[in-house]
Amino acid sequence: MTAELQALFAESAHELFSSEVDENTLRAAEGGTWPRALWKHVEESGYTTLFDDDELGATWNEAYPIIAAASEALAPIPLAETLIAGWLLRQAGIEQPPGPLTIVPDASDVAHMQGVPWGRAAEHAVAVIPGALESSVVLYRIAHLRVTPGKNAADEPRDTLDAAAAGPVKSAALPGNLPADVVQRFGALVRAVQMAGAVNRILEQSVRFAKEREQFGKQIGSYQAISHQLAILTEEKIAAEVASAYAWRELASDAKSNAAGVAKIRAGRAAGIATTIGHAVHAAIGMTREHTLHFATRRLWSWRAEFGSESHWARKLGEDVVARGGANFWSDIT
């Protein structure tokens, strides 16, 4: 059933996002216009409440092709955030409210929750509040909070929420099978998948440009220096995809898996290389606002820093390896 559902979602999601997201959609979203029609179609497709459908019985495994398709299209909506929030609410026994949701990367200070993706566009925010004995899953209504607008380098909303004067509308204890940093882990996971999608977009654009652009009477892609760079870019795209797909499968069965950190590190490395090669192949024209290359490159520069940078996850993985002791070292790295 999983393979059938994945194939079904892969086809439908690719069709939806490739037809609904274009250059105008991305430019309008960066200008502050909420893509209402796109979100409506995503909701009608059932993607936002995927985990709430008991009859369908979808898991994270079935959600992967949907997020992968949205990532390649650079869909400017909080679909990944809504899926994580909805899943987390369900784990805590809280009913998912309608509308777009977001997640709080760091809720240690509820008066100053920074970098909340799509905070002003979402209707509710889900946070995990750390406690002395146990952590709690809380649901905030955005309209009850003070929202300070912000944005990342890709002009995506990254807002600061202040919940000091407003309590959550619902809360419950974080289930014992979930780690206290569950939001950070799943946030890193979806950003890794999104980065893999953006790297693929840069590869496609660069290959197309290398075939169209000519210098000295020849396609620039026929020169060895360019073809070598495109080969490296292809390797990075595959590495990011494999790492993120593996991590997705691991976290689908074990939310405490470190695979999300590994994927974030690998996809982050691919992001750095892909943006460098993409702009090198396109040369000066790729640096202009009028060209579309920046839609992917600016997102990559932003996403690699969100939900933990490469250095953050490398340090955490190292600490975990040390804590587990030398007897587990070989099994951990293999």
d(CA 315, CA 311): 6
Instruction: Label residue 87 exposed, middle or buried (CB < 10 Å: 0-12, 13-18, 19+).
Output: buried
- What's the sign of the alpha-carbon dihedral 311, 183, 84, 298? negative
Helix (H) or strand (E) holding 35: none
The predicted structure's pLDDT at residue 54: 81
- Cβ proximity of 319 and 308 under 8 Å: no
pLDDT digits (tens, 9 = 90+) for 81-112: 999 999 999 999 999 999 999 999 999 999 99
Supply the DSSP symbol for 151: B
Which parts of the chain sit beneath pLDDT 70? 1
Q: What's the pLDDT score for residue 210?
A: 97
Q: In the prediction, which pLDDT does 305 show?
A: 96
What confidence tens digit (pLDDT) does each residue in 9-22 have? 999 999 999 999 99
Question: Which segments within 105-260 are labelled E, that is strand?
Answer: 113-117, 124-129, 136-141, 146-148, 158-162, 170-173, 214-215, 218-219
Separation CA 269–CA 240 (nearest Å)? 8
Write out pLDDT tens, residues 106-159. 999 999 999 999 999 999 999 999 888 899 999 999 999 999 999 999 999 999
Which pLDDT score, from 0 to 100, does residue 164 have?
Answer: 93
Closest residue by Cα to residue 198 from 304, 41, 280, 103 = 304
**Nearest CA to 21 among 65, 76, 82?**
76
**With 0-12 CB in 10 A as exposed, 13-18 as middle and 19+ as buried, what is 137?**
buried
* pTM for this model (two decimals): 0.95
